[in-house]
Structure 1
Amino acid sequence: MKRKAESQSDRSNGKSILKKRAKTVLSEEEVQKCFRKDLFDKDVLKKHTKSYAKSEPYKHSVIDTLINDKLLRAVRDEIRDNVHFTPKETDIYKIHQSGDLANLDGLDDGALEKLPSLLKLRDAMYSSSFRKYVAKITGSGELSGRKTDMAINIYTPGCHLLCHDDVIGSRRVSYILYLTDPDLPWKEEWGGALRLFPTKTFEDEKGEKTITPSPDFTKSIPPAWNQLSFFAVQPGESFHDVEEVYHAESKEQLERDGGRIRMAISGWFHIPQIGEEGYVKGAEEKWGKNSSLMQLQGNPAAYDFPKALPVEVESPEKDSQDSEESVFEEGDLDFLLKYMSPTYLTPDTLEQVAAQVMETSSVTVPDLLSKKFSAKVREYFEGQEKLALPSNSEEIEKGSWKVAKPPHKHRFLYQQPKKATSGKSKKGFDRELTPIEEILQVFLPSPQFRKWLELATQCEITKHDVIARRFRKGMDYSLATSHEGEARLELCLGLTPSPGWGDDEESDDEENVEEEDEDEEEDIPAERSSSSKSKQNGNSKDKTQPPELKPVQEVGEKKEEEADVGGHEVFMAGDDDEADEDAAIYKASSEAEDDNVLFTMPATWNKLSIVLRDGGVLKFVKYVSRNAKGDRWDISGVFDINEAEEEDSQETAVTLEDSEEEVFQGFPDSSDSDSECGNY
């Protein structure tokens, strides 16, 4: 739970006692002293203005030395000694962040006395002189000095910020001022760079143009002490991210690198407010409206990939007998046994799976694939990971993989079925299929698997859409999205061969299964808690409280951190309360009891998850850190169900707002015995 400083609230009645102190105004002479001596010279201003105008992929500028070095060192010391940072994580970022520096004036006298240099820096950055300086370079027009919007962000190894365009509300100019160690220059190989993405303009048959960002960045700006990077916020164009700060090879190396602490003050200049020079009534509302229109200009969805490719299934004719008497025919079993562990074809096991789905709307099935077929799949995936991929997306797409885009929504590699196979034997294709194609085009779309899934979920399936995904370490992710409409079954078959993804207990169990005597009698699977864990995410920066005072060394000096390499798939409850926030940033409460993460599953090997997902539930795959031992591989599928079946399951569809229980329940690891499955 977030600790509040004693100066921020009255413990007796809960009322805020933030002081209503007028913001200080520095004299022009004081402002000039805060910056480097020649910054405001006409020749220097002219140089930066020309550089900005010629910059690519969109207009931006970098000022190598901005602030008086003595002042900035004092600011860094004050931050390290006094400012408290809160770790925050959502689908789009992982950072340590202070409170809003706009609220420094709310601190009591004793607390504010500890941050005099930081206060001076803030007031100098939002002074009339510097705002006009930035406006001249960017051509942004007048900027507000009253609406200050800045915070201190610290990126330690594993921290990152994914692709976005900064378009929220009245923002006009974005900036980052780096406070990295002044005596230990930041190295480019440590990561943490500001990276800019180019955009492409598409024109349809009607002449309507759409601008969308490319999946590859073309400009990288590494951090440096006292460096300012800034650009005008351009809706639909100013896409950027912050590269992950990479882990060191060892603790000793990390110590030699000073902890790789990327500290920076970042923020925005806004449109002038009422009473300020340059204020125009209605301009802020118009800016916000135009920004939204720019982001949605043309038909951006037409250039989102991958596209859904749902395949309608033929419903078998119902005979006069009870539907529960439906059985697997001998041919069905022969087909399924090529791919699936026999345990999951027994009547008792299927009944338990179905009961679990009916109770919690979800289930995990470990060791779904048979030992023989899974060994073949593992060998294939391990071989694929050893092959070097081109770094450029266009080069990648010359092969069998495509790149998910645009990057402010998702980025990963994918394959889709070339055609609906309806259970066709792999011999029916013009070449030998790879294991991933065999799962994608033969096994999962087959009527035999569909029959198994209907028995396992008690749902009638009407459509299916499957896709193979590869999330490359240090590159890939999918941001939070929801789906419209009725509840549907969503499957994910984890095929990640590398360990260390937070599911080691199950991995160990799988290894033990491999060593078991195949002739040993199997136990019938029973319900147990899976490794699914709620992950507490943080809110975006606090707009109402000043920074909390507590030394920051704890951020950089934390030696042992739980291994978290990302790659987990997360389901979250929808949150419509923050309509004015960036839709790409899905937020969760910092209070454990208000945590809106429904459940999360790490990357796994040979484990199937089945979820009855209701409309409005968000889902994403967390960015995969470069520190992961491999890529995340899976087959993801959407299976639409009959509306009548959905109505029967309405109360248990995965909304989960009323349940505090973890919904994923698994079954003990299964081994392939030679016992007869029998008909079901």
Structure 2
Amino acid sequence: MVKRKHESNGTDANVPVKKAAKSQAEVHANFGDKLFDTDVVTKYREDYAQSGPYLHTVVSGLINDSLLRSVRREIIDNVHFTPKETDIYKIHQSGDLANLSGLDPSALKLLPSLLTLRDSLYSAEFRAWVSEVSGAGPLSGKKTDMAVNVYAPGCHLLCHDDVIGTRRVSYILYLTDPDKPWQANWGGALRLYPTEEKTDSDGKKVRVPHYDFTKVIPPAWNQLSFFTVQPGQSFHDVEEVLKRKEGESEDDGGRIRMAISGWFHIPQEGEEGFEPGLEEKLAERSSLQQLQSKNDEFDLPQEQWIDYDEDTNKAEDAEEEEVEFDEKDMDFLIQYMTPQYLTPDTVEELSELFAEESSLQLANFLSKKFSARLRKDIELHDGKTEPATNGWATATPPHKHRYRFKHADRAAADTSSAYDELLNKFLPSLAFRKWLSLATGLTLAKSSILARRFRKSLDYTLATGYNKPEAQLEYCLNVTPSKGWGADEEEEEEEEVKEKNSKKAKAKAKEPAKEDEEDNVGGYELYMAGDDDDEDDDDDDDAHSDHGVNIPPNAASATGAGNRRAAKHKKKAADPAIYQAGNEEDDGILFSNPANWNTLSVVLRDRGVLRFVKYVSESAKGDRWDVIGAVEVIDDDDEDDEEDGADE
């Protein structure tokens, strides 16, 4: 953003400095022809009332074309944009445009058309027009709220409902290249989601958004889209702007989706239409609070716990110690796991490492023979519209997550495919739980196991916290067959380093290529520290984008947040790698897990720790595939205390 004054003028930063009032004719001249004509207003009002999946409309040619072209040129020449990325969006954003009047006079001279546009959009005449068309009620002229957002290829905004504070109407005014019409196949569309009313266990009516959108509004020059902000109903997203593919025309202006977006707010105190207490009521219904709440009754998937009591009882009947890892367990696991991970020395080293770091990341976890079968199975479905395997469903609601999933089923009769054998036989086995207990040094109980597939250009999970008082062991077996996710590039760089140090290396080794941020395709999973401060910032209601967890620039390529450690083996050449967790930089990342092939990550998750999988870009070479598990941890100290109490 352009430079602001250093000295305060004593006015509210969100209240424009007094300016000469413009006549109605002057205001109307800044808009398209006949916009304020009675028959035009009536047509838009009728269309708005009949729109779906919720109230909205699209206005073409909203602003005087000459004025808007001047605005676009001023923005390109003078406005600074900051790249921002969180779990919910990736954009380039200007500063707040509401207080343009507070700019230094020399800076303000550079933006006369932008100032005129802002004053026109928040003029009494246009606010009355929006109120009449939408039926949303009176709109504030004091509280202006707008910014310029630029979506370059790869940028996106995931599903949310815009319900924050006093917002009443949300709008987007497109400033795409007027001389190169935007093509629908470039992406960047505004997409609206339908909702379904359901009754929860307490008898309350709640609206749940469907996982798929039903209305697509592509960008267009000088086009305004706006809708009434409705708690639990006005769910929408912005489709990823797609990168140019090989063979497509380069005459696309770089596919820069520029738009001014903002909100009309409810009247503030002292304005006509002000309602005492309305702001507090709206805040209570914010979807952002719902995202952090425990109200997950209609969420999919729901955890399905596998209880091992039956296996334990059988072991006791046979006079066996259930926790003891025996030869029978070894014979079972060696069908699936790399043998080196089953040796006592390696298991002991893993246990020591986990005690120190509370996490592990094990490369080449599955044996060569089984992983080859598994890879063949997955590659048959990777990138296809739907997997052929039965039992898959879509995670919902989309303002929390969207991906394909399948629960583990120990009773499943068909384990003919390697994938079903992995999900229904190997991971739910008591033998694997015993090994996991030894490798972490923890006493483990029931578990929940879920296969996930994150489809490119569709799927993600938004950051959610873990709220149980007891820590939970979580693992993720990453079985993504495609490359280009970040982790494989690091492996290639390490191979180059090895080659450089070998006797056969050339005198001048090739330098590892620097990671191109624009090639970040997402799909990485992060564990991040939650916010210790429970008090919301006073300016939260005025944020120009819905809240998200800020993502550090290096997140896409970090693997396990640390250095590789090799376990002690007899043959180093065949050793699987063990990743050491822990990040020296204080960027909030506790553990990272990029999409990759045949890597097991294990994390002890404490209360408050956030976890999410970043949206998978359309430019990814395939989908992210993994199987995750959540395992209950038994506190041995508590058990000892109970036994001592019983003895007394």
Sort the TM-score into its range (normalised by shorter chain). 0.7 to 0.9
Partner of 2:268: 273
Question: Where in structure 2 are the equivalents of 1:436-475 lying within 5 Å?
Answer: 436-475=419-458
Q: Does residue 402 of the first structure (1) align with residue 390 of the second (2)?
A: no
Q: Give the drift of 1:643.
A: 2.3
Q: Does 1:67 align with 2:23?
A: no
- From the superposition, tell whether residues 189 and 25 of structure 1 become closer, same or farther in structure 2 (CA, over 3 Å): farther
Partner of residue 548 from structure 2, selected from 586, 599, 606: 586
2:526 corresponds to 1:570: yes
1:45 aligns with 2:41: yes
Residue 327 of structure 1 and its aligned partner are, at CA, apart by 5.5
Q: Evaluate the alpha carbon distance shift between residue 591 and residue 262 of structure 1 in structure 2; reply closer, same or farther with a 3 A threshold.
A: closer
What letter matches 1:142 in structure 2? Answer: P
Map 1:201-600 to 2 at 5 A.
Answer: 201-203=197-199, 208-250=204-246, 253=248, 255-289=250-284, 301-314=296-309, 328-385=325-382, 387-389=384-386, 399-418=390-409, 420=410, 430-485=413-468, 486-505=470-489, 508=492, 561-575=517-531, 576-578=534-536, 580=540, 585-588=547-550, 595-600=587-592
The CA deviation at 1:377 is: 0.2
SS of 2:296 mapped into structure 1: helix
Are positions 1:621 and 2:613 aligned together? yes
SS class of match (1:32): helix
Q: What does 1:140-155 correspond to in 2, within 5 Å?
A: 140-155=136-151
Letter in 1 for 2:420: E
1:448-490 CA distances to partner (integer Å, 9 max, x unpaired)?
Answer: 1111111110000012111000000010001111111221111
- Give the fraction of aligned pairs with identical amino acids, expressed as a percent: 54
Question: Following TM superposition, by how much is the alpha carbon of 1:5 offset from its aligned partner in structure 2, in angstroms?
Answer: 6.4
Within 2, Cα distance between the matches of 1:205 and 1:345?
47
- 1:137-156: CA deviation from partner (whole Å, max 9, x where unpaired): 11111100110110000001
1:169 paired to 2:153: no
**Structure 2 CA distance for aligned equivalents of residues 595 and 249 of structure 1:** 34
Cα deviation digits, residues 20-79 of structure 1 (max 9, x gap): 971435412321111112110101101100110111111101001100000000000000
In 2, Cα distance between equivalents of 1:110 and 1:200: 52
Q: Distance in 2 between matches of 1:492 and 1:590?
A: 22
Instruction: Kindly provide the amino acid, as one letter, of the partner of residue 343 in structure 1.
Output: Q
The letter for the 2-side match of 1:410 is H
Secondary structure class of the residue paired with 1:492: strand
Q: Alignment length, in residue pairs? A: 579
The one-letter code matched in structure 2 to 1:279 is F
2:506 aligned partner: none
Contact 1:210-1:299 within 8 A present in 2 as well: no
Match of 2:81 in 1: 85
User: Counterparts in 2 of 1:107-118, with a 5 A limit?
Assistant: 107-118=103-114
Q: Tell me the CA shift for residue 361 of structure 1.
A: 0.9
SS, match of residue 261 in structure 2: strand
CA contact (8 A) 2:444 2:632 kept: yes
Cα deviation, residue 254, structure 1: 6.8
The answer (yes or no) to whether the contact 2:466–2:608 under 8 Å persists in 1 is: yes
CA contact (8 A) 2:209 2:235 kept: yes
Residue 365 of structure 2: SS of its match in structure 1? Answer: coil
Residue 631 of structure 2 aligns with which residue?
A: 639
CA–CA separation in structure 2 for the residues paired with 1:562 and 1:96: 13
Distance in 2, matches of 1:295 and 1:618, equals 16
2:2–2:79 CA contact under 8 A, matched in 1:
no
8 Å Cα contact 2:16/2:98 also seen in 1? no
List runs of 5+ in structure 1 lacking aligned partners.
391-395, 422-428, 513-530, 536-559, 649-680
Query: What are the ranges of 5 or more consecutive residues in structure 2 without an aligned counterpart?
Result: 497-511, 555-584, 641-648
Aligned to 1:604: 596
Contact 1:380 1:435 in 2 (8 A): yes
Could you tell me the TM-score, scaled by structure 1's length? 0.79
Counterpart residue number, 1:522: none
Which letter maps to 1:216?
D
Aligned with 1:269: secondary structure? Answer: strand
In 1, Cα distance between the equivalents of 2:351 and 2:17?
64
2-side partners of 1:294 and 1:455: how far apart?
Answer: 39
SS at match of 2:381: helix
Report if aligned partners of 1:86, 1:97 keep a CA contact under 8 Å in 2. Answer: yes
Offset of residue 587 of structure 1: 3.0
2:466 and 2:553 mapped to 1: Cα distance? 27
Q: Are residues 118 and 450 of structure 1, via their aligned partners in 2, closer, same or farther at CA, if it must alter by over 3 Å?
A: same
Tell me the TM-score normalised to structure 2 length. 0.82
Displacement of 1:228:
0.2
Give me the CA root mean square deviation: 3.5
Q: 1:97 to 1:386 in 2, by over 3 A?
A: closer
- For 1:129, what is the secondary structure of its paired residue? helix
- 1:432 to partner: Cα distance: 3.7
- Flag the 1:304–1:36 CA change in 2: closer, same or farther, 3 A: same
Change (3 A) 1:7 1:165: closer
The yes-or-no answer on 1:199 pairing with 2:195 is yes
Residue 303 of structure 1 aligns to a residue whose secondary structure is coil
SS of residue paired to 1:384: coil
2:96 to 91, 97, 100: 100
| Superimposed CA distance per residue, residues 203-231 of structure 1 (whole angstroms, 9 cap, x where no aligned partner) | 46886433100011000000000000000
SS in 2 for 1:120: helix
Classify 1:37/1:594 alpha carbon distance in 2 versus 1 (closer, same or farther; 3 Å).
Answer: farther
CA distance in 1, matches of 2:14, 2:142: 17
Which residue matches 1:655? none
**Secondary structure, in 3 states, of the residue corresponding to 1:266?**
strand
d(CA) in 1 for partners of 2:362, 2:465? 24
Structure 1 residues 294 and 234: CA distance shift in structure 2, 3 A: farther
Q: Is the Cα contact below 8 Å between 2:2 and 2:80 reproduced in 1?
A: no
Partner of 1:640, secondary structure, is strand
